[in-house]
Amino acid sequence: MTTILKANDVTKSYGDYTALKNFSIEINSGDIVALLGPNGAGKTTFVKSLLGLVSIDSGSINLYDLPINDSRSRRKIAYLPEKFNFYSYFTVLDTLKFYSSMYNADSTKTDYKYFLEMLSIEDLINKKLKTLSKGQLQRLGIACSLIGDQDFIILDEPFSGLDPIGIKDVKDICMKLKAENKTVLINSHILAEMEKIADKVIILNKGIVQKSGLMTEITKDEALEDVFYGLIKGPVRTEGES
């Protein structure tokens, strides 16, 4: 088992607001890891730090044995934002081809239909994005995050806008990725869905890790009942966080 991500005592503040405080985690290859917490917990700040979109104030993050400020550390990452969107005049196929090109994939050998079939949207291949529903856009976003065949996939609220069938599809895809020894980090506040697929869980609230460990162990801890209630209920959103 190989550790691909290690964060030690990461702290990040925005003015007087502390988004992360002494945040530490380890993620191993082949794991499905749930980063759980209510809106404003600091989940998005951590993801942005992995993507090089924000710099941390203190602590360290290493990804694939490289410091996160080294752009080479992110070459194996694919990322799905909470609200996927793209040029409204692009078709679904155009969008997949664009994402494929960013990963330097051979467009003549890429089976675009395969990725659309995974998300049950193959019939939308020639539809323009402006005609898609929120759920259809989310499915397309997931397809785009998979098309590069990256080793580490980060999904930010992947169940957003999906119906029960779509949620099941996403969970099935996560399990398929695990079987291929891919690593999946899911940023979410929906505990019930993550209980069914995650190997490990990090519970984050107000920038501080409340608990971390195997999902099977965490869910047996009755002392965390109030935290779980917060995850499900969720406080008022803090601007810039999810």
What's the CATH number where 26 sits?
3.40.50.300
Rounded to an integer, what distance in angstroms lies between the CA atom of residue 35 and that of residue 216? 15
| Position 64 pLDDT exceeds 90 | yes
191 within a domain of the structure (yes/no): no
Nearest one of 150, 179, 163, 181 to 119, comparing CA atoms = 163
| Position 222 pLDDT exceeds 60 | no
Predicted pLDDT at 227: 58
| Position 25 pLDDT exceeds 60 | yes
The number of distinct structural domains making up the chain is 1
9-13, 26-30, 57-61, 81-85, range with the lowest pLDDT: 81-85
62 within a domain of the structure (yes/no): yes
The pLDDT tens digits of the residues spanning 112-133 come to 888 899 888 999 999 999 999 9
Task: Kindly report the pTM of this predicted structure.
Answer: 0.85
| Position 242 pLDDT exceeds 70 | no
**Contact yes or no for 59/42 (Cβ under 8 A):** no
| Position 202 pLDDT exceeds 60 | yes
The torsion angles phi and psi of 44, rounded to 5 degrees, stand at: -65, -35
Dump the DSSP string for 58-120: EEEEEETTEETTSGGGGTTEEEE-SS----TTSBHHHHHHHHHHHTT--TTT--HHHHHHHTT
55 within a domain of the structure (yes/no): yes
**Contact yes or no for 46/242 (Cβ under 8 A):** no
